[in-house]
Chain A
Amino acid sequence: MNEHSPFESAPDDQLGAALRDALPTPFGGVFVNRVLARLRQQRSRSWDEELAGWFWQGLAAASLVAALAGWGLKVFGSADEVETAASTSVASQLLEGSTPGANVLLASMSSADAP
């Protein structure tokens, strides 16, 4: 053993071996199995957590799709009503007594000329 030089830069083999003996690490295989068991446990748990995360995202997406479908039905379901409203708009304007525009007059004349 080299006695106490602060400039020693090589490991002290004798001291190192004594320290490794003094700090034994028994049951290495048991320890490794324990770590790997925890690791697999974490992996399966994280898979469950992943699924749980997807569940909420899926639920949110389904809600959005349902809302869009509802909106779509409302919009496209009322298209006939819009068409009907457009076709009656000339007559209703005339009945209301308001001054119809040129397009309304032309439309009524063309429909009157029709056989």
Chain B
Amino acid sequence: MTGGDEAELAARAGRGDADAFGALVEKHQAMARRVAYAILEDREDADDAAQEGFLSAWRAIARYDPSKAFRPWLMQIVVNAARDLRRRRRVRAADPLDSVSAASRDNPAREAGDIDLGERLRAALATLPERQRLAVVLFDAEGYAQAEIAALLGIPEGTVKSDVFHGRRALRRVLSTVKEEWDE
């Protein structure tokens, strides 16, 4: 789907075409859910936030400017929805590292030396401040430009560079450790 196709779909959605909006949801749902997860660190909460983001986008789509890229506009709404949800559910927020450690303790496969890269990366992500998590996920996993991330998060581009740098350092450490374990 090109940017022009997206603009056309967004224009149709703006005229009330739910099917056109459905196509946009289908295209961007994975990214929206990952970005929401980077903020909330909980899969169900992330899906709730992504859904809320899409519904907010639907309500606001008549105000979307088709001359601008759709994806950052949508992600801005999803990030806001995820942050709102985190504020509302702060009570529910548990220490993610503890939960991962508990899961590891209860997992015999882990004791036997089984390596779950995904779980370790999620645990490493959880150690990062939210802004670093978002920056590295948006930049490396979702392919956003640093300038786009800066605009999306409302921070200077230099801060994004710094966040990506520090975030990557922690995550790369995990990757290299797992590689070493695989090589042994």
Contact = CB atoms under 8 A, between A and B. Distances in A.
A11 to B, nearest CB: 5
Contacts of B125: 19, 22
A18 B117 contact: yes
B137 A23 contact: yes
A32 B26 CA distance: 6
A8 B163 CA distance: 12
A6 B164 CA distance: 8
Q: Dominant SS at the A interface?
A: helix
B143 A18 contact: no
Contact of A35 (B30, B51, B122, B139): B51
Interface residues of A, number: 33
Interface in A18-71: 18-25, 28, 31-32, 34-36, 38-40, 42-43
Contacts of A87: none
A17 to B, nearest CB: 8
Contacts of B122: 22-23
B162 A15 contact: no
A7 B29 CA distance: 31
B83 to A, nearest CB: 17
Interface string B24-47: 011001100110011000000001
Nearest to B167: A15
B47 A31 contact: yes
Q: Dominant SS at the B interface?
A: helix
Given A25-B33, A34-B51, A19 B137 contact: yes
A15 B171 contact: yes
A16 interface: yes
Nearest to B144: A11
B143 A22 contact: no
A6 B161 contact: yes
13 contacts: A1-B172, A4-B169, A9-B146, A12-B172, A13-B140, A16-B143, A18-B117, A21-B117, A23-B122, A35-B25, A35-B29, A39-B18, A42-B58
